[in-house]
Amino acid sequence: MLKDKVAIVTGSTSGIGLGIARELARLRVNLVLNGFGDSGEIEAIRSGIEREHGVRVVYDGADMSKGDAVRRLIAATIETFGCLDILVNNAGIQFTAPVEEFPSAKWHAILDINLSAAFHGIAAAVPQMKKQRWGRIVNIASTHGLVASTHKAAYVAAKHGLIGLTKVVGLETAGSGVTCNAVCPGWVRTPLVEKQISDIAAQRNISQKDAAKALLGEKQPSSEFVSPEQLGGTVAFLCSPAADQITGTAIAVDGGWTAQ
């Protein structure tokens, strides 16, 4: 169904983005991987996916905090593959502090990477997708795009903004063959959350295992982490014909967090 399509997954050298990239490759989608990390490890991921799934995978290290670099990533992909079918805006960072202590530099970095990068990527991708009369834009937001938690002023603001952007683009592309949706994961055990688990363990003088349990217990009724593979499945669903009429919406994958 998605065979030979071309997808960019930003922030796909780790965590959720890598899970989404692997699932799309399993469905025979050609990929542009993006994100930071050790160049040897990134090459092992790239060539491993290519070998395992028989798809073409290229790596582009564009810095998502720079609007121009994001737009160049889209243009380079279209030049390399001759098309762009799926854009997954996933790269993101976190920083926690009470609002009165929140460093301005962190505020700007989170807004740039978690929100503005999606704006630049979408703006550059939509003309091509409209021309093709088919495109899927999936923005990886968060439960924090729907509800708030303390000490996450920039992250919650960026993710709420990302859901707003999703609605606007869903409206502007309606009927063109292009859809734009957001996915809102609850807790997923990736490096981004591992740091928060370590902080709880240190603050409460408890083990990593108990800290992970405490983190889940506070918010996620299922008491289980969401997996990157499950989020890959959600993105694949949004790229399937069953989702042709789903646009401008936000799908929670959060073990019941936002049902409370």
Q: Which positions lie near ligand NAD, rule CB under 6 A?
A: 11, 13-17, 34-37, 63-65, 90-93, 113-114, 140, 142, 185, 187-188, 190-193
Q: How would DSSP label each residue in 5-73?
A: -EEEETT-SSHHHHHHHHHHHHTT-EEEE---S-HHHHHHHHHHHHHHHT--EEE----TT-HHHHHHH
Choosing from 81, 107, 155, 225, the catalytic residue is: 155
145 versus 248: smaller Cβ distance to ligand NAD: 145
Of the pair 97, 132, the CB lying nearest ligand NAD is at: 97
**DSSP character at residue 226:** B
Q: Which is nearer to ligand NAD, 62 or 169 (CB)?
A: 62
| Cα end-to-end span (Å), the chain | 36
Concerning whether 155 is annotated as a catalytic residue, the answer is yes
Biggest CA–CA distance in the chain, Å, is: 57
CB of 175 to ligand NAD, least distance (A): 29
CB closer to ligand NAD, 135 vs 255: 255
- Name the β-bridge partners of 8: 32, 87
**Residues 170, 136: contact at Cβ < 8 Å?**
no
Closest contact distance (angstroms) between CB of 34 and ligand NAD is 6
Distance (Å, whole) CA 150 – CA 187: 15
Closest CA to 118 of 193, 182, 173: 182
Catalytically active residues, by annotation: 155
